[in-house]
Structure 1
């Protein structure tokens, strides 16, 4: 596995690559331009030389054959296909203008022009093409050297400035490694670094919040388990005692029947406690994804109908605004209000229970459960919402979790639960719910 490169090295490499591409493109253009310009300059020199020679061609023609050009130049005068005069390096028949020809394996650049306006004589003047190519090669080499130096300089500058550019990221990495809570105390001036710092900070905050929630959930679970064990220990101990008595002694039928009835009652208490604990645990595990649109008025009507079937002789009325829809947990709300009505009947001895649900001007929803029972002493109205806490006037057999379920559901819906005096003479349970 190859070793990963630093971001600074990548910035320097990217800068050098970009410079290489630009320098290569500019270098190719300059090389072609230099070659073209040098060739054009040579053509202009040859054209000037041909014009000067054309004026003196008749006088100079007899001496061309004896000139020792040694391949340094070539001059040829022709009349059609016939050579009138020429240097030892003879040029072939050429059209007027600039041409490149080969003389004995050496490329020459030639320019051909007419001698006089009415003359059929053409003079061709040529020099080796190397006179243009050699300077061109030198200049192109200089361009290449400058380009390489520019690429090297770009890479070096990329390394220098890249270090400054990635410094905020390096500092952010160090702060994350040190587990600093404040990852971006001040703007770094680099947008990406600031955005990354904010994203990492938000992620770490989410992790911290999740850890806090997990710790709180574990603490709650431990407290919940301890309280549950404490509440279940008493009835289970009583059941064991009754079973030991039934096993160890021959009792009269009446006593056996009394002990068996006590066992049944105790078993019912344990079962009710376990059911309430299960419901509390389900509420603790619910999340925002479980909330759905719930018609509270319809829910109150269903609760009233079920309560009157379960408690014959008790009148349950509903006063709820029509189409009162909220985002909530239908099963949880149903459970809470069922428990409220059951508590009013079983522990308060109520014969009339009135359920109300209305939306307040601030958008919250208030649900009330009034009864004409014995009520709840004012100094106990907060304590009865705690788990396994029962009012002093509560009937036997309860688990002490019914009102805890009510308080839990109120909290899960962003509200609270409290008791007040009821206009019916008993207790009024007031549950506020966020809309």
Structure 2
């Protein structure tokens, strides 16, 4: 069962008031009882002081005086009862005491007269008299306590409503469509802190939603372009398969179609591999960074490139190692694609990789002696699926897009300029973390 905060405040107030009233009621009842007994003892003491001097003359009147049962008097000397009302009190020590007499409780005060006869007078009244007064007073205490609890509950409900009003307002603001920025200055500390926390959460949710929408838009565009780029080679492959299946071709024709089919299949495979690498790069985070020797990665990439292309010569122009926080796999991917692009599309035979640094950046320069890139295409070649005028057939159009992506992931950029070797110069500027 759910209760409103206002009801909880009222219930808490009622519970607190009940505990306080119960405690005070118990204390008050004890005090009232003791006070009434004390008052009764004072009355009996006063009566005793009045009756002791005339004890001898009272003997003749006690039977008549005590017939109403409103009080009881017993006069003794030693163990002998000299006189008594019809209700005879037992022999008691001096002082006040509550005793049972024939099934009735009496409050009795006993005192001894200062005389040679050693007269002892016991004066008592029914204890029910004091008890009735006590019960009446305790009843008023109970009624007053119940009234205090009811009043506290009502006030808790009234003031609880005012206390939770900022939270009610905050709930309405947050529940609005779209959610309104909550008011952070209500005058209630807890409500203000909650409003600030909710405002921060809404801001983060808004930013996350914006990033999600942007990512979804990018993903849709990326998927559309990828589907478009893959449709052409897949259509060509289907056509080649239909030709092989329906026509009786001569061996030279058959080999030509199979070669074209194999080339197209390689193009699809290269495109899918590049798409996978692009997606992996977009999922990279700061946690993937590690200390990397940039010169060593350049050297390994150069050795692999020369092993795959025996006619290629790649030289590293750097005097010492250079370590920075980077994405090792991403940096290697960018260098591999930069060298492959120079060889495959620029027909380069000689490549020089230079590494330099300053306080804020690490710069990797890839020079080649190939055919170069026209000035008009130096920005477009970084677009996904773009193929330059001098690009060879079979490429995915994603190699330089991967290079630019890795440069951006490292907080920098990639661009082309003229190379002193006669071909193209690819510059990767990486920002130090």
Alignment TM class, shorter chain as reference: 0.7 to 0.9
Give CA-to-partner distance per residue, 1:140-174, whole Å, 9 cap, x none: 11111111111110111011111111112222222
Residue pairs, 1:299-318, within 5 angstroms? 299-312=297-310, 313-317=312-316
Q: CA deviation at 1:424?
A: 5.5
**Which whole-Å CA distance do the structure 1 matches of 2:359 and 2:111 have between them?**
105
**Which whole-Å CA distance do the structure 2 matches of 1:369 and 1:184 have between them?**
52
**Which whole-Å CA distance do the structure 1 matches of 2:246 and 2:94 have between them?**
140
Structure 1 position 410 matched with structure 2 position 407:
yes
SS of the residue 1:124 aligns to: strand
Give CA-to-partner distance per residue, 1:88-107, whole Å, 9 cap, x none: 22110001111011223221
1:77 aligned partner: 75
**Which whole-Å CA distance do the structure 2 matches of 1:159 and 1:133 have between them?**
38
SS of the residue 2:177 aligns to: coil
Q: CA deviation at 1:111?
A: 0.9
Which shifted more, 129-138 or 139-148? 129-138
2:352 aligned partner: 353
Say if 1:43 and 1:98, in contact at 8 Å, map to a contact too: yes
Say if 2:184 and 2:196, in contact at 8 Å, map to a contact too: no
Q: 1:38 to 1:319 in 2, by over 3 A?
A: farther
SS of the residue 1:75 aligns to: strand
**Which whole-Å CA distance do the structure 1 matches of 2:320 and 2:175 have between them?**
57
Structure 1 position 106 matched with structure 2 position 116:
no
Say if 1:67 and 1:88, in contact at 8 Å, map to a contact too: no
**Which whole-Å CA distance do the structure 2 matches of 1:110 and 1:273 have between them?**
114
Structure 1 position 401 matched with structure 2 position 388:
no
Q: 1:250 to 1:156 in 2, by over 3 A?
A: closer
1:41 aligned partner: 39
Say if 1:319 and 1:356, in contact at 8 Å, map to a contact too: yes
Q: 1:336 to 1:146 in 2, by over 3 A?
A: same
Which shifted more, 135-144 or 264-273? 264-273
Q: 1:341 to 1:65 in 2, by over 3 A?
A: same
**Which whole-Å CA distance do the structure 2 matches of 1:60 and 1:323 have between them?**
125
Residue pairs, 1:190-209, within 5 angstroms? 190-209=188-207
- 2:369 paired residue among 370, 373, 387: 373
Q: CA deviation at 1:212?
A: 3.1
User: Normalising to structure 1: TM-score of the pair?
Assistant: 0.87
**Which whole-Å CA distance do the structure 2 matches of 1:175 and 1:114 have between them?**
85
User: Normalising to structure 2: TM-score of the pair?
Assistant: 0.88
**Which whole-Å CA distance do the structure 2 matches of 1:67 and 1:247 have between them?**
141
Q: 1:289 to 1:84 in 2, by over 3 A?
A: farther
**Which whole-Å CA distance do the structure 1 matches of 2:252 and 2:64 have between them?**
160
2:23 aligned partner: 25
SS of the residue 1:72 aligns to: coil
Q: 1:24 to 1:181 in 2, by over 3 A?
A: same
- 2:333 paired residue among 332, 335, 339: 335
SS of the residue 1:14 aligns to: helix
Q: CA deviation at 1:63?
A: 3.6
Count of matched residue pairs: 428
1:148 aligned partner: 146
Say if 1:376 and 1:427, in contact at 8 Å, map to a contact too: no
Which shifted more, 192-201 or 266-275? 192-201
**Which whole-Å CA distance do the structure 1 matches of 2:17 and 2:351 have between them?**
89
Give CA-to-partner distance per residue, 1:281-307, whole Å, 9 cap, x none: 2333x1537624242434444323323
2:290 aligned partner: 293
**Which whole-Å CA distance do the structure 2 matches of 1:423 and 1:135 have between them?**
118
SS of the residue 2:353 aligns to: strand
Give CA-to-partner distance per residue, 1:10-62, whole Å, 9 cap, x none: 22122112111111111111011110111111112212222232233334344
Say if 2:298 and 2:353, in contact at 8 Å, map to a contact too: no
1:230 aligned partner: 228
SS of the residue 2:76 aligns to: strand
**Which whole-Å CA distance do the structure 1 matches of 2:24 and 2:417 have between them?**
88
Q: 1:69 to 1:413 in 2, by over 3 A?
A: farther
Give CA-to-partner distance per residue, 1:215-272, whole Å, 9 cap, x none: 3333222222222233233334444555556666666655554444333333322221
SS of the residue 2:40 aligns to: helix
Which shifted more, 36-45 or 230-239? 230-239
Say if 1:350 and 1:371, in contact at 8 Å, map to a contact too: no
Say if 2:313 and 2:351, in contact at 8 Å, map to a contact too: yes
**Which whole-Å CA distance do the structure 1 matches of 2:156 and 2:137 have between them?**
28
SS of the residue 1:56 aligns to: helix
Say if 1:175 and 1:183, in contact at 8 Å, map to a contact too: yes
Which shifted more, 20-29 or 262-271? 262-271
**Which whole-Å CA distance do the structure 2 matches of 1:194 and 1:6 have between them?**
20
**Which whole-Å CA distance do the structure 1 matches of 2:319 and 2:245 have between them?**
56
Say if 2:363 and 2:429, in contact at 8 Å, map to a contact too: yes
Residue pairs, 1:98-177, within 5 angstroms? 98-116=96-114, 120-177=118-175
Q: 1:137 to 1:423 in 2, by over 3 A?
A: farther
